[in-house]
Structure 1
Amino acid sequence: MSQTVDRALNILPLLAEGPADLGQVAARLGVHKSTALRLLRTLHDHGLVYRQSDQRYRLGARLFALAQEAVETLDVREIAHPHLVALNEACGHTVHLAVHEDNEVLYIDKVESRYPVRMYSRIGKPVAITVAAVAKLLIADLSEPERRSIAERLDYPRYTPRSTPNAEAFLKELATVREQGWATDLGGHEESINCVGAPIHGTDGRAIAALSVSAPNVVVTAEELLTLLPLVRRTAEAITREYAGTTTTTTTAATTTPA
């Protein structure tokens, strides 16, 4: 029975490449056409494959429905939390997880720094969109019209001399973040706090959350914090793999320290 199940499941990645006829399926599985037909009929009965008018088979609508249901039941916070804890244990600094909802970027999880001097933040609290690393990551992933619409309706409070001054500067920074795949807030919200972050991607490749590591400069300098970027990005990729069953490519950028 296990061999039958294995063969049936091997049909699905074949059809993911495109429609295939009975002979192609049998050849890929290395079985007689009668065996392949029996497997295809079983999958067809369950809606996992569909027989077209040209007698070729393709993936069935039920398979897509199941995939969507599975995605909708995933809780990124639940999946990410052990990774956030591991990242915190590795670096010792405050780790955040954030999402973009209803025109706000919100912290949905946090692991506190082990140092007595730490940044203040609260789960469920909106972040400062124009300066926060997690906000830049999530908004940078939107389409160009969406990014521009958001940038043009935001206020640009001068939290510090390093705060983003206007929409033009914000859009320019978002373009950089989009290209490089990571973001920072180096004293833009609070002069004494620095932050580096990376995106977490969903099944469609879009950023569904972002994580960051933050620390006061009395504990670690901005330059020292930036050396954690490869670890931060690897953590985000690990969460992406577990959440979406895939990963993004960060090759050279993931193993080098930004200037």
Structure 2
Amino acid sequence: MSQTVDRALSILPLLAQGPADLGQVADRLGVHKSTALRLLRTLHEHGLVYRQQDQRYRLGARLIALAQEAVENLDVREIAHPHLVRLGEETGHTVHLAVYEDGEVLYIDKVESRYPVRMYSRIGKPVAITVAAVAKLLLADLPEDERRTLAAKLDYPPYTPRSTPNAAAFLEELATVREQGWATDLGGHEESINCVAAPVRGADGRVVAAMSVSAPNVVVTAEELLALLPLVRRTADAISRDYSGHTPTKEQR
């Protein structure tokens, strides 16, 4: 990369921290003010920085628009898939990726287990929204009023004795999931299937997808599956980093 381009790009992270004057930019780059001014003028011409009335510079609207456009065109499934495959190879269990759309939680990717016993989940089909671990993560991230409205509208099928029985219990579980940053389904949909899940977050910290590892208890016990939670969370963090450019903070996890 040429020195001029390198210096110009170095200005953007500086201004992302807040407006800066010419002297501050020159000091950060280690260049004369005339060089810094020339770089700032070029960035200004392209709409990447903006000079305020107080003569300080901030990030320009064009840069923000480009960032938004880039985010809208990101395909979380494409970014996540190599990570899901790697996790499937490490654990041997079924790995899912799901998103929330139009009131439903849908699987958008799946890596099959290496074991003969397979799950009947299908890409593109909705999950059991009141019990699935991925659904709990996605719904827990909704604003409180939206969570309450949705919970009141849902039916609560008694798939198993461990299924979520009603809206009050569901909201309580979502609050726990929101606080702890991960979720489980331990026999809530099928008594023989357990699942642990972690969130994939965007640049704003919001949950854009959820990923999970599932296995029948004839292969591993619930306790053995829960022991994989740190690995599942690290994988979700890696996907978040590739998707958003940021690693989720401790508060977000």
| TM-fit CA distance, 1:227 | 0.6
| TM-fit CA distance, 1:73 | 1.2
Report what 1:70 is aligned to: 70
| TM-fit CA distance, 1:34 | 0.7
Report what 1:87 is aligned to: 87
| TM-fit CA distance, 1:118 | 2.1
CA RMSD of aligned residues (A): 1.2
Distance 1:22 1:80 in 2: 41
Which residue type is aligned with residue 173 of structure 1? E
Deviation per CA, 1:24-48: give whole Å up to 9, x if none.
1111111111111100000001100
Distance 2:250 2:96 in 1: 21
| TM-fit CA distance, 1:250 | 4.8
Report what 1:208 is aligned to: 208
Report what 1:35 is aligned to: 35
Which residue type is aligned with residue 114 of structure 1? R
Distance 1:250 1:213 in 2: 22
Distance 2:21 2:233 in 1: 42
Which residue type is aligned with residue 233 of structure 2? R
Distance 1:145 1:123 in 2: 30
Distance 1:214 1:250 in 2: 25
| TM-fit CA distance, 1:19 | 1.2
Deviation per CA, 1:197-231: give whole Å up to 9, x if none.
00000111100000001111111111111011011
What is the TM-score normalised by the length of structure 1? 0.95
Where in structure 1 are there 5+ consecutive unaligned residues? 255-259
Report what 1:187 is aligned to: 187
**132-141 vs 26-35, which deviates more?**
26-35
Distance 2:15 2:249 in 1: 26
Which residue type is aligned with residue 11 of structure 1? I
Deviation per CA, 1:146-180: give whole Å up to 9, x if none.
11111111011100000000000000000100011
Distance 1:224 1:76 in 2: 29
Report what 1:128 is aligned to: 128
Q: Aligned residues: percent identity?
A: 84
Report what 1:22 is aligned to: 22
Q: How does 1:131-146 map to 2 (within 5 A)?
A: 131-146=131-146
Distance 1:83 1:14 in 2: 32
SS, match of residue 123 in structure 1 = coil
Which residue type is aligned with residue 43 of structure 1? L
What is the TM-score normalised by the length of structure 2? 0.97
Distance 2:121 2:33 in 1: 62
Which residue type is aligned with residue 153 of structure 1? K
SS, match of residue 237 in structure 1 = helix
Report what 1:9 is aligned to: 9
Report what 1:257 is aligned to: none
Report what 1:162 is aligned to: 162
SS, match of residue 218 in structure 1 = coil
The answer to whether structure 1 residue 100 and structure 2 residue 100 are counterparts is: yes
Report what 2:240 is aligned to: 240
Distance 1:218 1:137 in 2: 26
Deviation per CA, 1:233-259: give whole Å up to 9, x if none.
0100000000001111359xx9xxxxx
Distance 1:193 1:122 in 2: 16
SS, match of residue 246 in structure 1 = coil
